[in-house]
Copies of this chain bind each other. A is one copy, B any other.
Amino acid sequence: MRQGAYTVTMQHVLTAISDPTRRAALALVWDGGEHCVCELMARLNASQSRMSRHMKVLREAGLVLDRRDAQWVRYRRNPQLAPALVAIVDAVLAAEGVHERKVA
């Protein structure tokens, strides 16, 4: 049945966005564009293995999709994400966005 699988996904989503670095990566990818790991590494000041692993978690939670493009792997927001889960991500990113305005 779907119910069980869904609850697991929900749990995965929450676990995924509970890490600051992953939230930051998600925020970058949430613009709808494609971003290679090297870009995310640079912008988030994260090591290669660390970044790669974090993206894996986001991917396995269903939040992002990845695509091979020559030597790069492009990550992008998953457009098929269930609306209820999109709502969660939007709420979280919005809550973080509230402050940075002050700085910017």
Contacts and interface: CB of A to CB of B under 8 A. Distances in A.
Nearest to A98: B84
Copies of this chain held together in the complex:
2
B94 A84 contact: yes
Contacts of A14: 14, 17-18, 92
B7 A11 contact: no
A6 B84 contact: no
22 contacts: A3-B103, A6-B98, A10-B92, A10-B95, A10-B96, A11-B20, A14-B14, A14-B17, A14-B92, A15-B18, A18-B18, A82-B95, A84-B91, A84-B94, A84-B95, A84-B98, A85-B95, A87-B91, A87-B94, A88-B92, A90-B91, A91-B91
